[in-house]
Amino acid sequence: MANWAGPRFKGHSMTIEADGTLMELGGKDEQILQAVFDMANLRKLRRRGIYGLHHRQPIAYGPLLLKQPE
């Protein structure tokens, strides 16, 4: 998550793990945050969580599309 730094802005960009754990919090001044994410864990969380494919139903979008899904 990125936010503007400087006196007129709040700053405090951050890196957050897929499970919501805060990894690193930036300050008010400009800086670069780096993080290493566990992509296997992210895929696992997405499969079972609210962002997983089991909540998506592309067939329901048919009436909104010009071309019907196959």
Residues 7-17: what's their mean pLDDT?
Answer: 82
* Res 50: pLDDT: 61
* Res 66: pLDDT: 67
- Residue 44 included in any domain: yes
What DSSP character marks residue 58? G
Buried-state track 45-68, b at ≥16 Cβ within 10 A, e below 16: beeeeeeeeeeeeeeeeeeeeeee
Question: Quick check: helix, strand or coil at residue 16?
Answer: strand
DSSP assignment string, 34-57:
-----HHHHHHHHHHSTTSGGG--
Taking the model in full, what pTM does it have?
0.52
- Residue 3 included in any domain: no
Number of domains present in the structure of the chain: 1
Whole domain around residue 51: which residue ranges?
14-64
pLDDT digits (tens, 9 = 90+) for 15-69: 888 778 889 988 888 888 888 888 898 888 777 766 555 566 667 777 777 665 5
* Res 9: pLDDT: 78
* Res 56: pLDDT: 65
- Residue 52 included in any domain: yes
